[in-house]
Amino acid sequence: MISSFSERLKLAREKAELSQVDVMERVGINNKTLSGYETEKAEPDIGTINLLCDLYGVSADWLFGRTKVKNIYVTSKQTFINLSDESFITSEVDYQEKSLTESQKHRLLKMMRLFLD
């Protein structure tokens, strides 16, 4: 389980599929500075935290370990799961901050179909 701010910060960047250099190019935070944040050698100010939260699509509450919900922002985009095909299996599904394996997604899909029949 991820517990520290620095671990969550690094995970958020990786889930956003960004390298430290990508972050530097997008928002101007030096990659060595970002590395310091991710290794607990430095602490970002509140403005930097907000900037990184927006870039990574996560909430500050999640970064600080106050909630398990990574993204609390409301968007107009809705995700629909089609239980009649296998698209669920190929989609990214997380539970308690861990990605489900293909086997777990197959079992979950089977349980959802049983529940709804």
The neighbour count for residue 18, using CB atoms within 10 Å, is: 17
What per-residue confidence (pLDDT) applies to 10? 94
CATH 3.40.50.720 fits 5-63, yes or no: no
pLDDT by 10s per residue, the chain, length 117: 567 999 999 999 998 899 999 999 999 999 899 999 999 999 999 999 999 998 998 989 889 988 776 765 544 444 566 767 777 788 777 776 678 888 988 888 888 888 887
Q: Which residues contact 67 (CB under 8 A, 6 or more apart)?
A: 59, 61
What per-residue confidence (pLDDT) applies to 19? 94
Which phi and psi angles does 14 have, rounded to 5°? -65, -40
Q: Where are the domains of the chain?
A: 5-63, 87-116
What per-residue confidence (pLDDT) applies to 72? 52
What per-residue confidence (pLDDT) applies to 86? 75
What per-residue confidence (pLDDT) applies to 6? 94
What per-residue confidence (pLDDT) applies to 79? 59
Q: Which helix (H) or strand (E) holds 94?
A: strand 94-95
Q: Please answer whether residues 32 and 48 qualify as being in contact, where contact means their C-beta atoms are separated by less than 8 angstroms.
A: no
What per-residue confidence (pLDDT) applies to 76? 41
